[in-house]
Amino acid sequence: MKKDGKYVIMFVCTGNTCRSPMAEGALRVLLEKECPGKFEVISSGTSASAGFSATEYAVEASKQWKSDISQHASQALTEELIDRSDLILAMTPNHYRQLMTINPDAQSKYFLLRNFPDPDPFGAIIEDPIGQPLDYYNNTFLEIAEEAGRILSEIVKRIDETVDAPAK
């Protein structure tokens, strides 16, 4: 059993105002149905400043799944957040490389979102919608939501194995 009782999943993008908050919201909606109370989903950005809201269009696009990210506050990727997380999903290979720069010893936690659960750090990315119209954000959210649905069973399995595991 985990000490705090929750499995922590972190999404990483650049500014922590578009992709990673949308992913955080989408996965949270799915996990609340599958394993309520056993997880925490957070997000951060490799170049984020603290305290910025999710963009207006990210908030709007997330409503497709009744995901409310309107209270989101951006935060920078830190070693403390890496240490706290059980699973870290990066939007691009560059984000993965930045994770490795901060803490190469935690590599077993790092995955490219589109590759998970395959640990290959190279592959297709989730494009950054910053500065694009709402339709672009909607498409980005749907890409992220599709990935969240694809990886859901693997994440639920990992949560169950970690949170429900007997204490050693």
State the catalytic residues: 13, 19, 128
DSSP E strands in 46-100: the ranges are: 87-90
Helices (H), 5-78: 19-34, 56-62
How far apart, in whole angstroms, are the C-alpha atoms of residue 8 and residue 88? 9
How far apart, in whole angstroms, are the C-alpha atoms of residue 147 and residue 88? 14
Residue 5: count of CB within 10 angstroms of its CB: 11
How far apart, in whole angstroms, are the C-alpha atoms of residue 97 and residue 110? 10
